[in-house]
Amino acid sequence: MSTLTILLVLGLLLVVFGLLFRIQILTAIFSGSYVRQIGTSNRVNALLMLVFMVVGGAAFFWSFAENFGKMNPPIASVHGHAMERMFWTTMIVIGIAFVITQALLFIYSYKYQHQDGRRAYFFSHNNKIEVIWTIIPAIVMASLIFAGWKAWTRITGPAPKDAIVLEVMGKQFNWLVRYPGRDMKLGVVNYRLIDAANDFGFDLSDKAAADDFVASEIHVPKGHPVLIKIRSRDVLHAVYMPQFRVQMYAVPGMPTRFWFTPTTTTDEMRAKLGNPKFNYELACNQICGKGHFAMKLNIVVDEPDDYVAWFAAQSPISKNADLMASYKQMSQQTGLGKGGSQGAKASAIEETGESPAPLAAQASL
């Protein structure tokens, strides 16, 4: 308690001394005896403004050029080129505005440093200037937003009828992937059926779910549209595939989706980069918890024939004995999945969006 009292007393003394010093200055000002001492520090600070502008600007552009390749991995999807053009158009526009405003900020700080006898010009209002700096930014921003809206609606709109469909579900701290089987239709899932053996919550009373299969990595064919249906089992995640320019949130309780067309196989990209260990990757770029760093999943872009062979070799979940036993136990405990596929659809929380049309590329199997 005594320590706190001493600290309070010291604080009050500092306040009192500060006020006394201020009163002394005000008294000198009113009596006309106050002389403001500027010294050389004002000019030094003004010069440092120019130094900071030159050195800081050079460091910025050097860092940008040095890391350009890391910021711009090679594009491996059709829509990626449109996204890249839109991004760099935006960067150029705001970059020009940034350079001009920051240069003027530092130059004016030097040019209009304090000088005895100089008074600032009071500029109250100018309608012409107000119109110019309101209308021009509004037109530029509206153009950028309209272009972005067109690109965004195109890549988030309905996928082509023959698109390959798969579902990605994020959970702390890994990704789960499932594909439709030979019926080309993702089956019903129900979160109340989720347990250690049934990560997705497959409701096997829906016949469409019986031939679904899960995979330890994502396989997609080159040159064919791919629709990814996305959901989260717990917290906010994000499906981020940099080479495909794919970025979409995985939101609990709200299904999202993204479709794209890969243009370069994994082997072709390895040859292009000269890196035989390269793999496309799905990463979570949202901080989703202490194990966030582990949320990675390999993506393999196959030639169409190789993809068909991989697809045909997969085993449906109905052949997974542990999952079947788990489903039987959970369905008895919860009373779910007793009404056949129609009953399952009525009672389940199905978060995968609309039912896909049969896919020509896979149906040929």
* Strand spans (E) along the chain: 164-171, 174-179, 213-215, 218-221, 226-232, 237-241, 246-250, 256-260, 280-283, 296-302
Strand-strand pairing, 174-179 and 164-171:
antiparallel
Segment 34-46 mean pLDDT:
76
Query: Which among 202, 196, 201, 93 is positioned nearest to 145, based on CA atoms?
Result: 93
Segment 31-55 mean pLDDT:
81
What pLDDT, on a 0 to 100 scale, did the predictor assign at position 4? 82
201: left (phi over 0), alpha (psi -120 to 50) or beta: left
What pLDDT, on a 0 to 100 scale, did the predictor assign at position 114? 81
pTM for this predicted structure = 0.74
Compute CA distances 15 → 8, 11, 20, 23, whole Å: 11, 6, 9, 12
Segment 251-265 mean pLDDT:
92
Residue 348 has pLDDT above 70, yes or no: no
pLDDT, averaged across the chain: 83
Q: What percent of the chain has pLDDT over 90?
A: 40
What pLDDT, on a 0 to 100 scale, did the predictor assign at position 236? 92
State the fold for domain 164-363. Immunoglobulin-like (2.60.40)
The amino acid sitting at 101 is T
CB atoms near residue 322 (< 10 Å): 10
- pLDDT category at 349 given cuts 50, 70, 90 is very low
Structural domain spans, the chain: 41-113+127-156, 164-363
Residue 305 has pLDDT above 70, yes or no: yes
Q: Residue 303 burial by CB count (10 A; 0-12/13-18/19+): exposed, middle or buried?
A: middle
Segment 118-129 mean pLDDT:
82
Query: Which among 193, 230, 195, 233 is positioned nearest to 209, based on CA atoms?
Result: 193
Query: Which among 172, 175, 259, 249 is positioned nearest to 216, based on CA atoms?
Result: 175
Residue 354 has pLDDT above 50, yes or no: no
The amino acid sitting at 165 is V
Integer Cα distance of 105 and 99 in angstroms: 10
Q: Per this entry, what is the length of the chain?
A: 365
- The tokens describing 265, both together, are 């196989």
Q: List, for residues 196-207, the tens digit of each pLDDT value.
A: 788 888 887 778
The most confident of the ranges 4-18, 51-65, 319-333 is 51-65
- pLDDT category at 337 given cuts 50, 70, 90 is low
- The tokens describing 229, both together, are 């249906």
Cβ contact 256:195 at 8 Å: no
Segment 266-280 mean pLDDT:
94
The most confident of the ranges 51-55, 203-207, 352-356 is 51-55
Higher-pLDDT residue of 353 and 264 is 264
Q: Residue 127 burial by CB count (10 A; 0-12/13-18/19+): exposed, middle or buried?
A: exposed
Q: List, for residues 126-143, the tens digit of each pLDDT value.
A: 888 899 989 998 999 999
